[in-house]
Amino acid sequence: MNQMTGAQLIVRLLERQGVRTIAGIPGGAILPLYDALSGSDIIHHVLARHEQGAGFMAQGMARVSGKPEVCFASSGPGATNLVTAIADAMLDSIPLVAITGQVPLPMIGTDAFQEVDIYGMTVPITKHNFLVRSARELLEVIPEAFRIAMSGRPGPVLVDVPKDVQNQIIEFAQFPPVAVRSPSPVVQVEQIEAAARMINEAERPVLYLGGGVIHSGAAQQAVNLAEQAGLPTTMTLMALGSMPVDHPLSIGMLGMHGARYTNFVLEESDLLICVGARFDDRAIGKAAQFCPNAKIVHVDVDPSELHKIKNAHVAINGDVAEVLDALLPRVKVQLREGWLARVAALRTAFPMQFPEQDNPRSHYGLIHAVAEALDDEAVITTDVGQHQMWVAQAYPFRRPRQWLTSGGLGTMGFGMPAALGAAMAAPERTVVCFSGDGSFMMNIQELATLAEQQLNVKIVLMNNNALGLVYQQQNLFYGKRVFASRYKGEPDFLRIAEGFGIPAIDLDAAANPQATLAQALQTPGPCLIHASIDREQFVYPMVPPGAANTEMIGG
Amino acid sequence: MIEQVAEPLQQASFAKVVLELDVNNHPGVMSHICNLFARRAFNMEGILCMPLSSGDRSRIWLLVFEDQRLEQMIRQLEKLEDVLHVRRHGAEHEVFERLEDFFH
């Protein structure tokens, strides 16, 4: 017979589930759980400086490992501070288990100190959530939280545990089994055959890969399908890395900031094979005018994504890897010389342009210089804004899980804590976070965590002293009425970093920025690399919000 | 730029349907279901929920409009962990009709 408190039980269940690192911040209502965690020799706790940072560290770990990772927060403001990181995980389908302390059961509903209804607040931003009412329920709830987070389309689960439940002592005979992924939906052979037939008969097919390819570990199968059937392949922001960008069949990222030729290839296609993508508005522009002449084959593990934005001619509900495995033997080998020649002609006529790529003091040049100094083993994270789109356009992503970015929610402040998480999950890799000054300041406090953990994280800060993408949109679409997008003050980021105990270098002052950058990237340990960029440089091409993808401006 | 301007949803002109849901009976299930309709801006005309005799399950009846998003709403409902089964009935289903006496 085992006898322990609810808090000890949670720690034991997390250990058994394979959790090795937890990011979080303690507070009154979660102190019993922290007390129990202090007794664990297996789990390493990383003390964040803001709960949102802890949530993004757990996300960074999960985006690299592919497994559910855990963050802790106390009740009230601790829990509400997690909300953005949870919503971000929901939109990008990241497996996350958030455990929050709650006021004791008898005090729930009394407006007690640091009481909020985090259960109610997280209903729309979690796959599922729990308010645990007895320690015995934990035996079921904790494994269930992991099972839900990693099964089907991954996502976040919140478990809210009142303080008295953490302290309650229970006896039980044996631990529940370690949670495993539920089986994927069974794929119907007729649908696979229908999809194969459409691919075999199409004249101008395009393969459209989404984040589901990464989550399902299906990048190799996707590349095989493209090669076998001669499919030009586009990737969403979330799918970058699933096919190496320099693969001859890659036509790069589609959508709002995709290359002109990519959107033109899609416009001419007669069959769109959408794999693990969800026709997001930033990817497809105006839905009614996206791929107007194409039939659609849509593969997704989430049945509610099928027919949601575009009706599919063949809709396959299943795990992307399993579906592609079943599809591959039925797809004919085709060279498609005519169509690929047309794609090549479009690429030549409307190429992606990287002006000043050889100048490391320009935005594309800086990204290029970082890539030159690293190999494909490095992990790249970004914040959100112009720098994110430039990195998405210009960085040579060549493997899945090389690229971590906040896609669906677009959360400024994601990049640095996610980079910390990535470095915790993969300490052997160099992790580079591209950030902008606006984003960086939204979770800048995690520099303290970085200094403490001495992780191999480099922050490349592209500083234009503005909310650059807002500034861009005001210039392009709001009659140049620039308002609330330029900062008046200019913080000294080098001194800020040094104040936190992080070495910092200024590329502006470097005589040879390329060499200085390479040396900083190759020195183990944390570093802030500061580079000023030109505020008047905009992200091009750009599809205006609400327009069709073929109505690009610039680039 | 193409201005994105809201157009009011006009659901009232659609036919009504009745959805019958089998769900786990525990606190929070109603909040998951109501929240789903609220956040996807899908109007719910009527709702009725009672525990089944076994006690561990409940049945929920929803009266909703049959607009083009109904299929999507049903798929979203089926995704909820506590929703075990969704059945769809026409508006002629008598559950809400028999309740109408209480609403005069």
Q: Report pLDDT digits (tens) over A156-204.
A: 999 999 999 999 999 999 999 999 999 999 999 999 999 999 999 999 9
State the nearest Cα–Cα gap between B52 and chain A, in angstroms.
22
Q: What is the pLDDT of residue B13?
A: 74
Residue of B25, B30, B75 to mutate when probing chain A, most A C-beta within 10 A: B75
Who among B4, B28, B32 is closest to A545 (CB)? B4
Provide, as residue numbers in chain B, all residues whose Cβ is less than 8 Å from the Cβ of A256: none
Reported as a single tens digit per residue, the pLDDT across A279-336 is: 999 999 999 999 999 999 999 999 999 999 999 999 999 999 999 999 999 999 999 9
Lowest mean pLDDT among A242-256, A440-454, B8-22: B8-22
The answer, yes or no, to whether the previous bond of A541 is cis (omega within 30 of 0) is yes
Question: What pLDDT, on a 0 to 100 scale, did the predictor assign at position B54?
Answer: 86
Contacts of A110 (CB under 8 A, 6+ apart): none
Q: Is the pLDDT of residue A105 over 80?
A: yes
Average pLDDT of span A142-163: 98
Any idea what the Cα angle at residue A57 is, between residues A41 and A257, rounded to 5°? 155
Digit-coded pLDDT (tens) for B86-103: 999 988 889 998 888 898
User: Does A479 contact chain B (CB < 8 Å)?
Assistant: no
CA distance A54 to A66: 18
Q: Give yes or no for B6 touching A (CB within 8 A).
A: no
- The pLDDT value recorded for residue B9 is 62
What pLDDT does B104 receive?
79
Q: How many CB atoms lie within 10 A of CB A394?
A: 19
Please, which residues bridge with residue B87 across strands?
A: B20
Question: Which residue carries 């996807």 as its tokens?
Answer: B40
pLDDT, position A90: 98
> Nearest-5° angle of CA A223, CA A225, CA A230?
95
In contact, A306 and A312? CB cutoff 8 Å: yes
Instruction: Tell me how far apart the alpha carbons of residues A242 and A400 are, in angstroms, rounded to a whole number.
Output: 5
Distance from CA of B104 to the nearest CA of A (A): 33
Q: Does A302 contact B at CB distance below 8 Å?
A: yes
Looking at residue B67, what is its pLDDT?
A: 86
CB contact under 8 A, B78 and A119: no
CA distance B102 to chain A (A): 30
Phi, psi angles (nearest 5°) of residue A468: -60, -40
Query: How crowded is residue A353: how many other Cβ atoms within 10 Å of its Cβ?
Result: 14
Phi, psi of A265 (to 5 degrees): -60, -45
Q: CA A144 to CA A126: how far, in whole Å? A: 14
Of all residues in chain B, the one with the smallest CA distance to A546 is B2
Please tell me which of the candidates B1, B39, B79 has its beta carbon nearest to residue A124. B39
Judged by a CB distance cut-off of 8 A, whether residue B3 touches chain A is: yes
pLDDT in tens, A470-521: 999 999 999 999 999 999 999 999 999 999 999 999 999 999 999 999 999 9
Minimum CA–CA partner of B38 in chain A: A124
Please list every residue in chain A whose beta carbon sits closer than 8 Å to the beta carbon of residue B6. none
Q: How far is B81 from chain A (nearest CA, A)?
A: 7
Does B81 contact A148 at a Cβ distance shorter than 8 Å? yes
Predicted pLDDT at B12:
64
Is the CB of A477 less than 8 angstroms away from the CB of B79?
A: no
Between residues A440 and B45, which one has the greater pLDDT? A440
Indicate the residue type of B33. I
Is B28 within 8 Å of A119 when comparing Cβ atoms?
yes
**β-bridge mates for residue B64, sequence order:** B17, B44
Smallest Cβ–Cβ distance between B28 and the set A131, A545, A547 belongs to A131
| pLDDT at A5 > cutoff 60 | yes
B28, burial (CB in 10 Å: exposed 0-12, middle 13-18, buried 19+):
middle
Q: Do B1 and A477 touch (CB under 8 A)?
A: yes
Q: What is the mean pLDDT of residues A222-232?
A: 98
Q: Are A55 and A82 in contact (CB under 8 A)?
A: yes
Cβ partners under 8 Å of residue A404, min gap 6: A60, A63, A64, A379, A380, A381, A382, A418, A419, A422
Work out the burial of residue A114: count CB atoms within 10 Å of its CB; fewer than 13 is exposed, 13-18 middle, 19 or more buried: middle
Residue whose structure tokens are 């091409």: A541
Residue B2: which of A307, A308, A546 has the nearest Cβ?
A546
Residue A105 to residue A122: CA distance in whole angstroms: 19
- Does A146 touch chain B if contact means CB atoms closer than 8 Å? no
- pLDDT for the residue B41: 87
Residues within 8 A of B (CB atoms), A 69-128 only? 119-120, 123-124, 127-128
pLDDT digits (tens, 9 = 90+) for A498-511: 999 999 999 999 99
Closest by CA position to A528, among listed A404, A435, A407: A435
Q: How many residues make up chain B in this entry?
A: 104
pLDDT of residue A221: 98
Q: In which residue ranges of chain B is pLDDT below 70?
A: 1-3, 8-12
**Which candidate, A333, A338, A223, A199, places its Cα nearest to that of A272?**
A199
Among all chains, which residue has been given the structure tokens 């409902």?
A: B77
**Domains assigned to chain A:** 2-171 (3.40.50.970), 189-349 (3.40.50.1220), 363-532 (3.40.50.970)
| CB proximity under 8 Å: B 31-90 to A | 31-32, 35-36, 39, 71-72, 75-76, 78-81
- Share the mean pLDDT of chain A: 97
- Given an 8 Å threshold on Cβ–Cβ distance, is B75 in contact with A304? yes
Pull the structure tokens for residue A358.
Answer: 């050889």
CB contact under 8 A, A302 and B32: no
Environment class of residue A21 by beta-carbon count within 10 Å: exposed (0-12), middle (13-18) or buried (19+)?
A: middle
The pLDDT, as a whole number, for residue A477 is: 95
Question: Using the beta-carbon criterion (under 8 Å), do B72 and A304 form an inter-chain contact?
Answer: yes
Interface contact A124-B35, CB threshold 8 A: yes
d(CA A107, CA A113): 9
Q: Amino acid letter at B6? A: A
A157: nearest CA partner in chain B: B81
**Is there a contact between A77 and A83 (Cβ–Cβ < 8 Å)?**
no
Give the number of other CB atoms < 10 A from CB of residue B3: 8
| Pairing status of strand A431-436 against strand A457-463 | parallel
| Strand partners of residue A234 | A208
Residue A370 has pLDDT above 80, yes or no: yes
User: How long is chain A?
Assistant: 555
Could you identify the residue written with the tokens 């002629």? Answer: B92
What is the average pLDDT across A107-124?
Answer: 97
How far are the Cα atoms of A58, A356, A399, A480 from residue A20, in angstroms, in the given order?
A: 11, 44, 25, 51
Q: CA dist A454 to A42, A343, A375, A424, A448, Å? A: 20, 47, 21, 10, 10
Contact A387, A363 (CB under 8 A): yes
Alpha carbon distance, N-terminus to C-terminus of chain A: 69
Q: What is each CA distance from A372 to A202, A369, A375, A522, in whole angstroms?
A: 39, 5, 8, 12
- CA nearest B36 in A: which residue? A124
The CATH class that applies to domain B16-103 reads alpha beta
The dihedrals phi and psi of A478, each to the nearest 5 degrees, come to: -125, 40
Q: How many helices (H) and strands (E) does chain A have?
A: 22, 20
Confidence (pLDDT) at B11 = 64
What average pLDDT score do residues A377-381 get?
Answer: 98
Q: Cα distance from A494 to chain B (closest Cα, Å)?
A: 39
**A53-73 mean pLDDT:** 98
Strands (E) across A335-466 are located at 379-382, 403-404, 431-436, 457-463
Helices A415-425 and A51-65, packing angle to 10 deg: 50
B/e letters for A303-332, b = 16+ CB within 10 Å, e = fewer, are bbbbebebebebbbbbbbbbbbbbbeeebe
Chain A: closest CA distance from residue B37 (Å): 10
